[in-house]
A and B are shown apart, each in its own frame.
Chain A
């Protein structure tokens, strides 16, 4: 029984960490490759969730609604980058303020269009039994989804010409320009990809996290802290931070209370930032 319980706790904690990672990766891409903190990240997640919800209500299969959500959020993201973000390069706090304002606008827009309460979509019904315990299958599937997302981003940034340009542009901005990289075009694409990843997260998490106008708030704080803890080697750092913080919080929560889980998350974050002010990956030699 003890082993069964432990295995159950570990699996569900890994699944919680994966959900955190799924919700974080888009933010990590935008911060890691543009140096911009997108405080409207949670709202892009919300837009992705509503897009998936609305299209399934129109009769589109759920699996197909996910790529639609990605296209919608990428388009909005590219527009936002060109209209707002591109005017504020190198001004971290100004971009935070601007995207925060944007998040409020998106939130109110969602309230106006959808109201504050919306129906969820049913979770696909399959589950995994471990001894006496039963775990819902869909949250477990998120472990694989998170791993695939991380691999996708890694491949995109290391195996494509776009990815190399984006990394060059954030590592040494002046030399990137001097060797012919048009940073503004690269940045528009990076921001769109970050928003598309948020939209994907909102859509793929829809069976677990129902679409509501305020759902972004719940995610953005933890996602933001995860990215800050991660530091300059964004992807590897975020994966480890999500597993450590998200998984640790979930384990704490299952033995104590969910409040203790959140307390664990914020205390460990504070401790890590005290030990590593520039993030845990500040001195790592890795590509992403």
Chain B
């Protein structure tokens, strides 16, 4: 249902990803692995439309996605960026409501649904997002992306700088929304255990290109590849 086709792009004249193609089927959870600086985040930004495409394109439901990021969101593309980027001078409630409202959904219904999904946000509901801890902001960034009511969710390093108990909670939520609501997931990560607990298939990136495609079982068995990925 989601496809990146021959993506080439970067910042200014610097090309970071070259001719990258991948796909995520409906309801599938896929990991994008690779060390720091191989182009995972750039590929994510290419997918959302936040960097202009040098060449190549993105397909959502076999239809070429529009150029504008806001219209891609309306087609069901959710995005949790590396570094969270919650709206700092808006409350937790407002962060969630605005994401729902921007896509024509009811803001307060979205807030109620979020509080049911993420009870840890409840006591912080009226706090400004800028004052939350890193882990809380990460959960809020995920909640905000879900308020868009996506069919494909892109996550960029969701475990970075987050305490283990919250990582478990995020993994639990991702598994649940993937299984119960059929939301497809593409997660860029360096935390192999986190990925193996969610994704059934993985792409491994190296130097701005996809080096190989593998599935969970083969990845679990291949200690040499694991070592390369973990950089041990």
Contacts and interface: CB of A to CB of B under 8 A. Distances in A.
B90 A287 contact: yes
Interface in B135-162: 144-145, 147-148
Contact of B50 (A171, A174, A182): A174
A154 to B, nearest CB: 13
Contacts of A285: 89, 128, 130-131
A168 B71 CA distance: 17
Interface residues of A, number: 24
The dominant DSSP class at the A interface is helix
Contacts of B91: 287
A167 interface: yes
Given A165-B102, A287-B128, A183 B85 contact: no
B33 interface: no
A213 to B, nearest CB: 39
B87 A168 contact: yes
A263 to B, nearest CB: 35
A176 B79 CA distance: 11
B101 interface: yes
A218 interface: no
B88 A177 contact: no
Interface string A266-288: 00000000000000000001111
A180 B70 contact: yes
B27 interface: no
A172 B98 contact: no
A241 interface: no
B68 A179 contact: no
Interface in B39-69: 48-50, 68-69
A177 B131 CA distance: 23
A181 interface: yes
A178 interface: yes
B73 A178 contact: yes
B50 A180 contact: no
B32 interface: no
Contacts of B10: none
Given A177-B70, A178-B48, A181-B70, A165 B98 contact: yes
Interface in A153-210: 158, 161, 164-165, 167-168, 171-172, 174-183
Q: What 10 A-B pairs are tightest by C-beta distance, nearest first?
A: A180-B73, A180-B102, A164-B98, A177-B69, A161-B101, A179-B99, A181-B102, A180-B103, A175-B85, A171-B87
25 contacts: A158-B94, A161-B97, A161-B107, A164-B94, A164-B98, A164-B101, A165-B101, A168-B87, A168-B98, A171-B89, A175-B86, A176-B102, A177-B50, A177-B69, A178-B69, A179-B99, A179-B144, A179-B147, A180-B70, A183-B70, A232-B89, A285-B89, A285-B128, A285-B130, A285-B131
Interface of B: 48-50, 68-71, 73-74, 79, 81, 85-91, 94-95, 97-99, 101-103, 107, 128, 130-131, 144-145, 147-148
